[in-house]
Structure 1
Amino acid sequence: MPQKAWSAKRERQYEHIKEGLRERGESTDDAEEIAARTVNKERARHGESRQASRTSTEDISSGRRGGLRSHSGPGGRTKEQLYAEARAKGVKGRSSMNKAQLARAVGR
């Protein structure tokens, strides 16, 4: 769902990502959600949005992350992302957990 705040470039980026996901077999709803999240994250990384999460600005770029994490098995989220989710869920002992333990704790 394109937003009013998006520039023409971001609209094109959204459509490109959405169509690519549809070609790979994603449902329309999932493709739209993933495309919108990707565009919003890129906007945050480039200072185009009013608010930006720490993950949006400190994680590697969406394009690079996709290349690194796709087709490589259960790499998924970074340890920092898992830790943040564990903190949000109130998981006890999270500071001493490794990535695999965090993944199990937050319920992959």
Structure 2
Amino acid sequence: MPRGSKSKYTAEQKRKAEHIEDSYEKKGLSKDEAEARAWATVNKQSGGGDKAGGSGRQKPASAKAEDRQESARRAVASRDGHSRNSKASRDVQTVDSLRKEARAKQIPGRSSMRKDELIEALRKVS
């Protein structure tokens, strides 16, 4: 059984959890497991119940926009095979990914460089 009071949830959230729970039960899960998964899904989708209180301080819209841009930048870097700390992981990157990074930083002569030369050039630029 899920822990905690559900009194802070909206009627819509409670309805959604009930529908999700029914769906899981139809798939053969136990009542307790279905209920736990249903509330976990509702929490993930909506961030939990409408809780009173809090700090009362919210980030300004500009800070939220900057956070979104930073998150998008990290997602692109991750898709391209770069970890968050790409400087430390250059030794394990492929030559192709190093060339992509060099292209992004507009390093001249990158197409004819060997791996160790690309790493050195990227270290100098960073």
- Normalising to structure 2: TM-score of the pair? 0.34
- Normalising to structure 1: TM-score of the pair? 0.40
Which one has a bigger Cα radius of gyration? Answer: 2
